[in-house]
Amino acid sequence: MARFSARGLALLLPWLTACSAPAQNKPAPPAAAPAKAAPAPAPVAKVEEPVRVAPTRPVAPVLWPTTTLRGADYVSLRDIAKRFDLKATWTKADTVLKLGDARGPQFVFEANQKDFYLDGLRVFLGTPAVLHKDSLWISLLDVIKIVAPLGRPADHAAQLPATVPKTIVIDPGHGGADPGTLNPKLGLNEKTLTLDVALRLKKILEPRGWRVLLIRDKDTELSRDKKKDLLMRDEFANLNQADLFLSIHFNSAGPAVTGVETYVLAPQFMLSAGDESGDDMTKVAYPGNRLDYANLAFGEQLHRAMIGGLKTSDRGYKHARKAVLRMLDCPGALVECAYLSNDAEARRVATPEYRQQIAEAMAEGVANYAAALAALRPAAPLEPVKVK
Ligand SMILES: [Zn+2]
């Protein structure tokens, strides 16, 4: 894929992902059995094999009109509004443009900002929105990989897993020799808190029918080599044929910063959050990128549930090339539940009640993802049709 130009590839992306997005890295479900093994019929006119209709909808080719800005293809938010049947209104002249109507999704974009709001949720683009003529414009890659599938997820149903998710691998970040981030004043370390939340989440999910596997259930690392340790977490999920992967972390920044951040794998060519120029990794299509649309759907549900459940600051739903997300064969997300560097928030995290709330919010995100999948998944395959 790296041989295509960025522009050519962007145009091809809907088809490429449609072709390459595996439902799961699992054997295909057995073909629907023909009605019953009929007793040997008398030889009649030749009956052809049952026709099995592919359980996917064709992906409508979406060719967004583009203009070259800053050396890349950009799409006007007015064209997105038109396509999605939404009204585009400036709420602050030439700065804040709102797309929405009474029923549909509400988007709020701001000039020169990477973040936008979708129904109140803070989502980050790969590159900022740009003011041009009478509209804000966003990059074609951001449209294809973030804005369009979040606004109209049904258009990408064919690219979502076609099986009900059952096995979830939970990754309590860090462990053993790697304590993660610390709050020495309160005697907190990340590795202990991630494990505690993971164990709580397991307890919530198992009675709900999930098969829950933990990367670790005690204070240990998978490898002393950090790079290897992270790769082994992906491998654990892949070997266990996980349907979903959730990595739990706690954050660190300036002392005033609080809230939740959620990450999914950045699509090929999209800048990782916080990266302004890109590097060789930006050009790579990782195994996890086969599931860009499922990652996006899972991350959205998870972030929404965390923000709603914890009533904390929204630090944003972001894309990055996190090592634990790159090699996954299933949708995955990484959530930074709170900032240990903020004493007030760290004190909350130190209470079992708040950690239980975190686990409950995560469980809700997982359930909402499964429900969204069930609602979006293409209709079950048609019964075999015998053609005379
Ligand atoms: Zn961490």
Q: How confident is the model at residue 9 (pLDDT cuts 50, 70, 90)?
A: very low
pTM equals 0.83
Task: Determine the distance separating the centroid of ligand 1 and the alpha carbon of 182, expressed in angstroms.
Answer: 10
Indicate the DSSP class of residue 27: P
- Distance from the CA of 303 to the center of ligand 1, in angstroms? 17
What's the rounded mean pLDDT across residues 281-289? 95
Lowest average pLDDT, out of 4-18, 83-97, 165-179, goes to 4-18
Cα-to-centroid distance, 335 and ligand 1 (Å): 9
At residue 38, the pLDDT reads 39
d(CA 115, CA 209): 36
Distance CA 235, CA 285 (A): 18
CATH code given to domain 63-151: 3.30.457.10
Ligand 1 mean position, distance from CA 250 (Å): 5
Q: How far is the CA of 343 from the centre of ligand 1 (A)?
A: 17
Given this model, what pLDDT does residue 35 score?
A: 38
Read off the pLDDT of each residue in 197-213 and give the average, rounded to a whole number: 98
The rounded Cα 157 to chain-centroid distance in angstroms is 14
Nearest partner of 267 among 147, 161, 153, judged by Cα? 147
φ/ψ of residue 163, rounded to 5 = -120, 155
Query: What is d(CA 18, CA 144) in angstroms, rounded to the nearest whole number?
Result: 13
Whole-number mean pLDDT of the chain?
Answer: 86
Q: How far apart are the first and last CA of the chain?
A: 42
Distance separating alpha carbons of residues 8 and 31, to the nearest angstrom: 36
pLDDT tens digits, one per residue of 24-48: 333 333 333 333 343 444 444 444 4
Cα–Cα distance for residue pair 144/61, rounded to 1 Å: 11
Q: How far is the CA of 97 from the centre of ligand 1 (A)?
A: 35
pLDDT at 19 over 50: no
Residue identified by tokens 């099986």 is: 163
Task: Give me the CATH code for the 167-376 domain, please.
Answer: 3.40.630.40
Out of 36-40, 324-328, 338-342, pick the least confident: 36-40
**Burial (0-12, 13-18, 19+ Cβ within 10 Å), 380:** exposed
Which single residue is written with the structure tokens 């049904």? 154
Grouping H, G, I as helix, E, B as strand and the rest as coil, residue 137 is strand
pLDDT exceeds 70 at position 116: yes
Please give the distance, rounded to the nearest whole angstrom, from the Cα atom of residue 251 to the centre of ligand 1: 6
CA of 181 to the centre of ligand 1 (A): 6
Q: Residue 175 Cα, ligand 1 centroid: separation in angstroms?
A: 10
Position 92 scores a pLDDT of 98
Rounded to 10 deg, the angle between the 352-376 and 292-310 helix axes is 140
Cβ(23)–Cβ(351) under 8 Å? no
How high is the pLDDT of residue 5? 36
State in Å: Cα 108 to ligand 1 middle: 31
Query: Helix (H, G, I), strand (E, B), or coil: what is residue 193?
Result: helix
> Quick check: helix, strand or coil at residue 378?
coil
Question: Tens digit of pLDDT for each residue in 53-79?
Answer: 333 444 555 689 999 999 999 999 999
Residue 96 CA to residue 170 CA, distance in Å, equals 39
Residue 144 CA to ligand 1 centre (angstroms): 30
Q: What is the reported pLDDT for 104?
A: 83
Tokens of 192: 């202990």
Domain layout of the chain by residue ranges: 63-151, 167-376
Decide: helix, strand or coil at residue 58: coil
pLDDT-derived band of residue 275, with 50, 70 and 90 as boundaries?
confident
Whether the per-residue pLDDT at 262 is higher than 70: the answer is yes
Judge whether 301 and 151 are in contact, CB under 8 Å: no
Give residue 323 CA to ligand 1 midpoint distance, Å.
12
Q: What percent of the chain has pLDDT over 90?
A: 76
